Amino acid sequence: MARRKLIAGNWKMNCLSADGQALAAGLAAKMKAAGAARFDMAICPPFPLLSTVLAAVAGSAIAVGGQDCHAKEKGAFTGDTSAWMLKDLGCAYVIVGHSERRTYHKESDADIKAKAQAALAAGLKPIVCIGETLEERDAGQTLEVNRRQLHGSLPDGTTADKVVIAYEPVWAIGTGRTATPAQAQEVHAMIRAELVGRLGDGEGNALRILYGGSMNPGNAAELLAQTDIDGGLIGGAALKVDDFWTLAEHSPR
């Protein structure tokens, strides 16, 4: 089954407005020059830059997403941002359950599922992140941990056009240590089988599973060539126009 690749940039807590504007505008110019790109592209800047970035990519095929959302629509939650606010601004995606949120904000699978559920209710596509730590991998628990996180975090009503999954091994994030294509494919194949079991053949085979963790222009081609790797969630290499664009261009024809 041919799934269109999704190349998503997670800017994390980087960029002031001038850098963010230039980065988004540079990518929008590349996208427009490319005409019909053979991949989808999304960028997820920090909240304060969303309006600037949305304006910079307006009229291009680049989608914009938030990096997190609250599970509730509104209320007394100082410092939080709702999925409805992101949708209202013009976002199409929101990342939920990134390992940095799981670690630094103690988010559980249930928290992440509630956030993903809110994203769906607001009309956003959640990019639901899962991934094992190095200790879990070394203990031989990789598949079990990812299976548990997958089923615990995936929202009810998941369909292929509404939800994206990102497998991000924690030990590969920001470390320069990428999963080998075979290591990544092994986990992606397990996720695919679980999705088919849960959603049926059609939806399970159509849902996109991204890889994230030290993906860069040098290793993207091999990763993106794997059967069940349907794109990337990119941190460091998403912060430079040429790196991110070159990486995306490694999407197979």
Nearer to ligand 13P, 116 or 199 (CB): 116
Backbone angles phi, psi at 35, to 5 degrees: 70, -120
Q: In 3D, which of 156, 223, 154 has the Cα closest to residue 188?
A: 223
CA distance 81 to 98: 16
C-beta closer to ligand 13P: residue 173 or 199: 173
> Minimum distance from CB of 65 to ligand 13P (Å)?
11
Neighbours of 143 (CB within 10 A): 15
Active site residues: 98, 168
Between 57 and 179, whose beta carbon lies closer to ligand 13P? 179
Of residues 215, 96, 214, the one with CA closest to residue 150: 96
| Residue number, nearest CB to ligand 13P | 235
- Say which amino acid occupies 147: R
**Size of the chain in residues:** 253
- Cβ at position 10, least distance to ligand 13P in Å: 4
Taking CA atoms, 3 is separated from 40, 208, 213, in Å, by 11, 7, 21
Q: In terms of CB distance, is 14 or 81 closer to ligand 13P? A: 14
CB nearer to ligand 13P: pick between 131 and 155: 131
Q: From residue 216, give the alpha-carbon distance in Å to each of 9, 56, 197, 243.
A: 11, 24, 32, 7
**Binding-site ranges for ligand 13P (CB under 6 A):** 10, 98, 168, 173-174, 212-215, 233-237
Report the nearest approach of ligand 13P to the CB of residue 218 (Å).
Answer: 12
Rounded to whole angstroms, how far apart are CA atoms 63 and 12?
16
User: Shortest gap between Cβ of 161 and ligand 13P (angstroms)?
Assistant: 22
Nearer to ligand 13P, 66 or 235 (CB): 235
CB of 108 to ligand 13P, least distance (A): 19
Distance in angstroms (rounded) separating the CA atoms of residues 242 and 217: 9
Can you read off the two tokens belonging to residue 197? 């079991």
The owner of tokens 């009229």 is 59
**Of 6, 24, 26, 3, whose CA–CA distance to 15 is shortest?**
24
The pair of three-digit structure tokens given for residue 97, joined into one six-digit string:
């359950």
CB of 236 to ligand 13P, least distance (A): 4
